Amino acid sequence: MDTEKIELFEKYLAGDMSAEERTAFESDLSADRELAEDFSLYQYIETDRRASYAAMERERVLKESIKGLNEEFFPERPVVIGRDRNLRYMISGVAATLLLGGVLLFLLLSHSVDIQEEVSSYYATNFEVLGQTMGMESDLQVAIEAYNKKEYTQAVHLFESLLEQDSQNSELLKNMGLSYLAINDFQSALEVFDRLANVPGLHVNEGMFLYAMTLLLRGDDVDLEEAEKMLNTVVREGKSGSVQAAQWLEKLGR
């Protein structure tokens, strides 16, 4: 992917294009399949990058907390001799126990966040609003607007109608699956994301990741086991969403 394309994508996503430039870019996306796939790839990379930064920030907070506990319980003190040394050892032992307990408590709390809550937060952050990246055709525009207005049932019907004309359009499949997910129709969402995962010839395919995300949101015991297997596959094969998948596996304790 060349620098010129990246700059173009960044300008579009940042909202720095004029109305004419935006219309022209979206028209190009609709007409040029390679450009559309490169744009989708760039969006997925950006999503993974943000997830990676979030993981680094959590690690930084943990290290600072441990450092703070260490400084609190093990401040530098002058060397002592005689009986005072025994007292010093005893105090150090108690402090070490408290420090270890504090670290373990911190780790326990940091991993106790319900996985569904974390996945729900990811879903809300990344999929609450659909971007208009496939051109300005009226039917597609109406479908996206329905989703963004939270008229999800209407959006399902509109995306389904569009898919009758282009049954393997990955963006339409993704959007229809997300529409089902928004109304908690998990089974229908799973069926659509499975269709997406099996679309041939895509350079980037979120289908398996979105399928696993849906299982985690539904949250049955069997769902969690299946989601774990799929997330491991996403990570192992470097599929789209692999960074976030690795974080969820860690949260699951896998």
For residue range 209-231, list pLDDT tens digits in order: 999 999 999 988 889 999 999 99
Lowest mean pLDDT among 46-50, 65-69, 213-217, 222-226: 46-50
Q: Which amino acid is at 198?
A: N
Q: Which amino acid is at 171?
A: E
Q: Which amino acid is at 226?
A: E
HEC string of 78-102 equals CCCCCHHHHHHHHHHHHHHHHHHHH
Q: What is the mean pLDDT of residues 238-252?
A: 90
pLDDT of residue 62: 64
pLDDT of residue 109: 42
Q: Does residue 113 surpass a pLDDT of 80?
A: no
Q: How far apart are CA 155 and CA 157, in angstroms?
A: 5
Q: Which amino acid is at 138?
A: S
pTM score of the predicted model: 0.59
pLDDT of residue 192: 97
- On the CB side of 182, CA atoms within 13 Å amount to 23
Q: What is the mean pLDDT of residues 165-194?
A: 95
Q: Does residue 97 surpass a pLDDT of 90?
A: no
Q: Which amino acid is at 71?
A: E
pLDDT of residue 5: 85
**What letter does residue 165 receive in the DSSP assignment?**
T
Check residues 34 and 88 and name the one with the higher pLDDT.
34
Q: Does residue 108 surpass a pLDDT of 50?
A: no
Q: How far apart are CA 16 and CA 172, in angstroms?
A: 26
Q: How far apart are CA 193 and CA 172, in angstroms?
A: 11
Q: How far apart are CA 254 and CA 247, in angstroms?
A: 10
pLDDT of residue 11: 80
Q: How many residues does the chain have?
A: 254
Query: Please, what is the average pLDDT of the chain?
Result: 79
Q: Which amino acid is at 23?
A: T
